Structure formats: C-alpha cells, structure tokens
A and B are shown apart, each in its own frame.
Chain A
Amino acid sequence: MIAARQFGTVIGLAALCVVLWILTPHFMSVSNLLNIAEQTSINAIVAVGMTFVILSGGIDLSVGSIVALSGVVLGTALQGGQPIPAALLLALVVGLACGLGNGALISWGGLPPFIVTLGTMSIARGAALLYTEGRPVSGFDASFRVLATGRAGFIPAPVIAMVLVYLVAHFALTRTTFGRYVYAIGGNEEATRLSGVAIRFHKTMIYGVSGLMSAAAAVILTARLNSAQPIAGMMYELDAIAATVIGGTSLMGGEGSLGGTLVGALIMGVLRNGLNLLGVSSFLQQIVIGGVIVIAVLLDTVLKRKHRV
C-alpha cells in the first residue's frame, strides 16, 4: 500500500511522533493515539475521494460543502423518524449525486474541474443552509450515536470505518480496471482515450467517488457531534488536498497512492493533536500546518529531482 517513494513521508510521521513524545509524554498514550486516529478519520475519508480526483488530474473543491449537505439531509431524515439505514442511504445518495453532477459537468460539459467544483462548493453550501434555514439539526435516536461512540474491542467505530474505506478504496485503485484508468487518465488522457477507455464515464465516476466519500465522512461527523450543521465541513477541501499532497500524490495527476494519503492525513492529525497538547495557540497552529505542507512537498520535489538525475 505504501510505495517506496512514500517511505520518506512515513519517516516524517515517525519522527514527528518521537519529537512529540519527548516534549509531552502523554502523547504516546493509547487513549491519545486512538483519539488522534478518530479525529483523523473524517479528513482521511474525504481525502480518499480527493486522491482519486487528483490522481486523475483534477481537483474537487466542493467536498466540504458536500459534507455539510449530506450531513443535514441525514440529520433531518433522522430527526423526522426515518430508520437509520434509510437515512444513511439517503445521505450517501445525496453525496454521490453531487459528485456525479460535478463529474458530468466536467466530462460532458468540458468545463475545468476547478470552476465546476468551485460552483458546487457554493451551491451545496447554500442548499444546506436553505434546507435547514441555517440552523443546526439535532435530537437523534441514541442508537445512531453508536456510529461514533461504538467500539470493537478498544478501537473506535470511526477508525474501523476509516480502515475499511481505505482497504476497499486501495483495492479499487490497484486491482480494478477503474483504478487503472484513474492513473491512466491522470497520466495521459488522450492516450487513454485512444486506447478505447470511456473517459467521460470514468471521470464522472471518479467525482462520484469523491462525493460518496464526503457523504461517508458526513455520517461520522454528524454522529460524533450528535448534530448536523449546515456550516460543517468548512475548509475540508484544503485539509483533504493537503493530506493528499503531503502523501506524495502529484497535483499533475497520474502518480501517488492512498497509503501516502493516509500517512498525510495522520501527519496532519498528529500535528494538530500534539500542538494542542503543547498548548500552542490555534492561530500559531495554522502557521505550523501550512509550513508543514510546503516543506513536505518541497522535500518530495527535491528528492524526486535528485532521483531523476
């Protein structure tokens, strides 16, 4: 799952953990590590979809808004007394539909992904606000909370969900024709088209995956907060892009892996958690995280350049 070139990212994560361990011993406690994994799960799942999109040479700015829209649809359905499976399915369908809509406009409409998903970012956010009249939705059945509070042994449900999503998505990316086409389209779209691959269909599906992943993240987020908020998921697109890029996926498309993205998401989670434990102000945290993104990509670029010559 983790290619040789992601090795550096793994070492970076390990080094980060060691430093934080020395600075604040509590960091390495099992409860804190599980806490990090749980907090990371949402960004990590959104980043799965983002990795598919970026690998194919695109970008999806609408993921955060789709998280909010799927979340409030889920919350409203639960509040209205729908059975949990039906409400979950509804939320996932909404996310998938948003993604497929993005994909269809990009492939058949021939519009740049940046523009289309920028539009959807605003549309889905507006729809979520309109749908809820701007108010949070809460008051769910206690059994729904299990999705956030439940544990298998000592592992929290969101972490299990994250691991399952990564296993399935990794399989899809490495062992299916769909996954192969994701890399091929990102690597050389014209050559892939001339090889008889249905580019438009597959591109649409790629954005569909991204929407679906956003909806899955919305389910966990809603369960964790025990409330669905139309302003949820702000800046998630940037976190997901950051995790993907830190994980070594090329913004040009065609190169990268989900293993890298998972490590990237974990680096961001560990960093946030560690800085909190150290009592670093949230303002300063933003600066540090921004610095890490740039440094990670800089290192990757420098190493690649060295490797090539």
Chain B
Amino acid sequence: MNANATPVLEMRGVSKAFPGVVALDGVGLTLHAGDVHMLLGENGAGKSTLMKILSGAYRKDAGEIRIDGQPVDIGSPRDALALGIRVIYQELNLVPQLSVAENIFLGAMPTRWTGVVDWRALDDRASQVLADLGLDAAALGPRTRIARLGMAQRQMVEIAKALVSSASAPAAAAQGLRVLVMDEPTSSLTSREVTQLFALIERLTARGVAIVYITHRLDEVFRIGRRVTVLRDGRHVTTRLLSEVNVPELVRLMANRDLSEQFPKVRAPRGPELLRVEHVSRGGTLSDICLSLHGGEVLGIAGLVGAGRTELARVIAGADRCDTGRLLVDGGEVRLRGPADAIARGIGLLPEDRKAQGLVPGLTVARNIALPHGTRLARLGVLPGGSEAALAGPIADELRVKSTATQTVRLLSGGNQQKVVLGKWLAGDVRIFIFDEPTRGIDVGAKVEIYHLMNRLTARGAGIIMISSELPELLGMSDRILVMHRGRIHAEIDGADATEERVLRAALGLAS
C-alpha cells in the first residue's frame, strides 16, 4: 500500500463537547485504502464519539473530514452511507425473523414491476454477495433465518449488508463500501469464529476497503492491525505502525501509567467451604455438575460459548432452577426459588450482559447500587431521604466510578457501568460472588481495578466464581480452573499448573 497516495478518509482537528464534558478535543484519524487501523483507548477516551461523528450519528463542533481529499459534510447517517461509510456495532442490527438474504437487502429488495419481491433475484444476489466475501453457501445459505445463526455468522451477514447497502446508496453507486468501522466485533465470538472473521477482514482489505477496528483485546491488535491510533481523554495520543510498538508500550500509551502487572493476583488464605454444588442438571444445558467454592478462592470457569457456563451461573444465582441436584451454602442445603433467595444467602451475580441484565439505565448510580437493598434501607416501605446515596456513595468511591451519584447510568461508559453493577453486591452481605465475563468490553485500566477488587474480596474471606472467555485473565486470576464442555465439567486444573493450551484442550473436549 502506498502511504503517499491520497488517504481514503482524513479526519482533522475533530472536536465535540457534551454538556459538562469535552468528549473529543482536536482528534485526527487518517485511513488509507486497504488499511486495518486499530482504534484504542480506555472507555471514555472518545472512540465511540469519534465513530459516531464519522457515521453521522453526532455532529462535530469543529474539525474537518475529507474523503479522497475532498472535504465532506456528514450531517446524518444517510450522508455517511452515501459516502460509503458503514459501522457495525457490538449490538448487531439484524431482524432475527427474516432470512439472511432478506436482511442483506433490507430496504433495497429487488422487486418485479408489480412491487412484489422477486425472490429468485433476491436469492441470486445474496448468494453472489456471500460468494464475493468467500463465504460458503452451505454454511450460510441465503434462505437461513438469522435466528438460527450463531454470533459469528450474524456478524458476516452484517458485513455483507454493509457491502450491499453502501453499493445501493444513491450517491455512491460507483463507490461501494469505502470505510468499515467494526466496534468490538469479537467480543462474543469463539476463537475459531474469530479466525473466520479475520479471514473475511483480509478479503475486504484486499478489495481496498479501509477498516477501523475498535477493540480491547491487544492480541487482536497485533494479529490483524497495520496501524494503531490511541486516544486518551478525548485527545489523540499517537498513531503508529504496529510493527513499531509492543504490548507494554501500547498499554502505557492507553492508560498513561505503567501497568507492570496486568493481573495483580494476590493469594488469600483458603477459608471454609462456602458453596457446594452437587449433581446439578438442567434441561439440555447442564448435566451432573459438581463443584465447591471456598472462602478466599477465585474459581475460574473456562469453556467455549455454549458450554453451559452462564447457565450454571444463573442456577447458582437463583435466576433459573435446576431439574435435579442440590446446592449447599455453608454446608446447609438451600432451595432457591428466585434471585431474592440467593441474595438472602449471600450470593450475588454479575451478569454476562450488563445492559440487559445488570442495570436500569434510567435510574441514577446511587439508585442502581441500592436496588437490591431497598427492603433493608426502608422503614415501613419508606426510604429515608438520602439513604440510598449514603449506602452507594462510599461504594462508588471505592470503585472509583467516574460520575456523580445523581447521574443516570445510561450516560456512563462501559467500565463505569460495570463498576455500578459490581457495586450492587458490595453494599450487602454477599460472600459468594459470581462474575460472568466481568471485564468484557471494558478498558485496561478498569480491568485492573476489577482485579484489585477481586483481591480485596477474597482477602475478606469471600469466594468468587469467575467465568471468562479471556484465557490470560482466567490463568492470571484463578486459584483453580474448571473447564466446561457441553454442559459438563470436563476438567479441573490447579491454577499453578494451568496453561492456555491445557485449558483450551479441555474446552474443546480433548483429554487434558
């Protein structure tokens, strides 16, 4: 790729302020055709804001955007589309009830002169697009319903859709897809799916598409990235070729502090058994699960997506019931009829999907943290004035939630939102913590803060079950690791003996 050629996209001096915060302060980003440009930064660094300006969701306060050297005005998502700019968000925008072909051509379906959809043309064109992307028609048939697809396949449909709708946008008939922004595309993919996605990205760049790739996974940065731009606190820190930087340097650039230890694990003395799970089975998802959790211990649970890890977490947290088997807390059998029972026993769940399961977006930070503790705080059902703030204030401080107590959580960044969900369980008498993907989608700095918090909890005698898809994190923070495969516990590995390879082999169902 010739670096002297006119860049496909040039953003210069872009600024954007929201009431109370400057989200972007004179940020620039330059993309060349065929580039995979990694955009890094902690949560709240301004990555999303910059991409929302590019996609026309926000208007910039100042700065300039050029496409092929020509200044452009992106005033709406339509404008961005017409310029060949597409964004694929973490939450995919597909209609699950419709087929692959229908989703790809949604809004631009081929019709006969009567206005009736020309199904054959639709199928043909969809197959053409999928074949162009090198996707196997057997794996991803145009008539398959989205609801039946896995996350990785859905993502590929999104990419196909990006290609098509850019091509059919009125002003860009000749241009097609120029810039594709991918926001944490691998956050819910298995490693094999990630490989497929990366192969697809390579095919796109070979066609001259420039890609902006946002991620928190540094290994991916080096695997597919060519250049990297780091943002911090709304400012441009650096843009480099990835061949010229290494991981510690990148982390330092993002966090502006030396994270000498990514996983600051502190071993706590092993306490009495807090939780015992005996022969728990549920539907087709869990079979004959036995485990035990002691105080002071972090029990890691590894496994591929669909291995039953989240289902296990939900049974222990009382969110779902098991068909057979029993749970013992402090040696006594407990029957959990709902989350309230689990909480009363000191079990707190940090759910996998914080937006859908962890937070009430319209409530304030303090009210979210106090939500599980209403009954305890209230006198005859009445919440004494300021009681929620008094409960939540110290916790928000301890977790260093960057907000005021009266701010609604909707406006917080991912890391801060996750801290609020954690905060719900720090306020009570919870001693058994279940963390389901505790650091998914949050920045390096916030991750380390959560690891420190885990150390503090185990030091107090609490036990933690940590489900994670990030192996380094599991290996770095667990005292023991259970590996699940198809609803069963396939292996138990002591933290000291665990290697990525051993865990991965077990997760794939191989003998360890």
Contact = CB atoms under 8 A, between A and B. Distances in A.
Interface stretch (B63-71, B201-209, B226-234, B349-357): B349-357
**Interface SS of chain A:** helix
A91 B378 CA distance: 31
A277 interface: no
A198 B371 CA distance: 12
Interface string B365-386: 0010001101101100111010
Nearest to B19: A307
30 contacts: A175-B383, A176-B378, A176-B381, A177-B374, A177-B378, A177-B381, A178-B381, A180-B383, A181-B374, A183-B362, A184-B363, A187-B361, A188-B359, A188-B360, A188-B361, A190-B356, A190-B357, A191-B357, A191-B358, A191-B371, A192-B371, A193-B338, A194-B349, A197-B371, A197-B372, A198-B338, A254-B360, A255-B362, A309-B58, A309-B59
B339 A194 contact: yes
Interface residues of B, number: 33
A29 interface: no
Nearest to B52: A309
A187 B58 contact: no
Contacts of A309: 57-59
Given A176-B381, A178-B381, A193-B319, 13 more contacts: A175-B382, A175-B383, A188-B357, A191-B356, A191-B359, A191-B371, A194-B319, A194-B358, A195-B339, A195-B371, A195-B372, A198-B338, A255-B362
Contact of A196 (B343, B351, B358, B383): B343
A187 B356 CA distance: 10
Given A175-B383, A196-B339, A254 B362 contact: yes
A193 B375 CA distance: 14
A195 B438 CA distance: 17
Interface in A154-205: 175-178, 180-181, 183-184, 187-188, 190-198
B313 to A, nearest CB: 11
A167 to B, nearest CB: 14
A181 B349 CA distance: 19
Interface residues of A, number: 22
A192 B375 CA distance: 13
Contacts of A196: 338-340, 342-344, 372
B317 interface: yes
Interface string A292-309: 000000000000000001
Given A195-B371, A196-B340, A197-B374, A183 B363 contact: yes
A177 B375 contact: yes
A180 B371 contact: yes
A194 B383 contact: no
A33 B414 CA distance: 50
B234 to A, nearest CB: 17
Contacts of B383: 175-177, 180
Interface string B297-316: 00000000000000000000
